[in-house]
Amino acid sequence: MQFDRLRLNGFKSFVDPTELVIRRGLTGVVGPNGCGKSNLLEALRWVMGENRPTAMRGEGMEDVIFAGTTRRPARGHAEVGLAIDNSARLAPVGFNDSDALEITRRITRDAGSAYRINGREVRARDVQMLFADASTGSQSPALVRQGQISELINAKPKSRRRVLEEAAGIGGLYQRRHEAELKLNGAEQNLARVDDTLDQLSTQAAALARQARTAARYREIGAALRVAESALLYRRWADARAALDQAQVTLAADARAAL
């Protein structure tokens, strides 16, 4: 991964907009003690997603914002931009459509950090993955701070292994495996929830099937009842009609007898 330019504004001692051009080959930064050389390396770590204030030699992340001097007031925000050459198109899908990438991180007092890639707002994780895939990042052993060489010499095998893995370019795979494990856990939890819902639904379906059978029987009996009632009414009507006819016949006979 080729870094082309580091842009700082309000970051630690770099209160005014400052640009560090990083050309091919070796770039050296020289200056008297306390002029801000280490701050440049910290800006690089910070824009790559460093989230430990101690790694920035501070107590809180807002300590990276220019704190003011006797002659200049403190700033309310700090911003660092890192321009990367992406002509080999090795950036992750979604950020791989241009030859140059600019990653910016801005911190505002009481509002935290915001990240952008080529002006588009992204998550801290997107930025960390972009660098992890290129086997670098805020905690990459390639960024050597003061005293780190002796730490490495005295390091335990596990820490040394991390250095070798970074060098072999598999650092990003661990992050991706971790993300995949988190997704897998999420999917398993979702599956368990779906099983619970299925159990509930099958209980409800059994109750509904019982109710449906009762409703069908009710309809059958209702239809039979209506037929029986119609037959009964017809029978009563027919009986009444026969009784009427009979009464008329009797009346006629009585009338004839009376004459």
Residues that bind ligand ATP (CB under 6 A): 12-13, 31, 33-39, 63, 65-67
Helix axes 157-167, 171-258, angle to 10 degrees: 80
Residue whose CB is less far from ligand ATP, 39 or 135: 39
CB of 6 to ligand ATP, least distance (A): 13
Residue whose CB is less far from ligand ATP, 34 or 157: 34
Which strand ranges, in their side-by-side order, compose the sheet holding 112-117?
18-21, 2-9, 77-85, 100-108, 112-117, 120-122
Give alpha helix (H) positions in the chain: 37-47, 124-133, 148-153, 157-167, 171-258
Instruction: List the helix and strand counts (H, then E) for the chain.
Output: 5, 6
Residue positions counted in the chain: 259
CB of 51 to ligand ATP, least distance (A): 17
Residue whose CB is less far from ligand ATP, 39 or 140: 39
Residue whose CB is less far from ligand ATP, 143 or 163: 143
CB of 64 to ligand ATP, least distance (A): 6
Cα distance between residue 133 and residue 48, in whole Å: 12
CB of 68 to ligand ATP, least distance (A): 7
Closest CA relative to residue 135, chosen from 174, 188, 86 = 174
CB of 108 to ligand ATP, least distance (A): 14
Facing residues of 88 across strands? none
Residue whose CB is less far from ligand ATP, 74 or 88: 74
CB of 60 to ligand ATP, least distance (A): 11
Who contacts 106 (Cβ-Cβ below 8 Å, separation ≥6)? 77, 78, 79, 113, 114, 116
Residue whose CB is less far from ligand ATP, 12 or 106: 12
Cα distance between residue 6 and residue 18, in whole Å: 8
Whether 86 and 100 have beta carbons less than 8 Å apart is answered as yes
Residue whose CB is less far from ligand ATP, 62 or 166: 62
CB of 145 to ligand ATP, least distance (A): 10
Cα distance between residue 221 and residue 215, in whole Å: 10
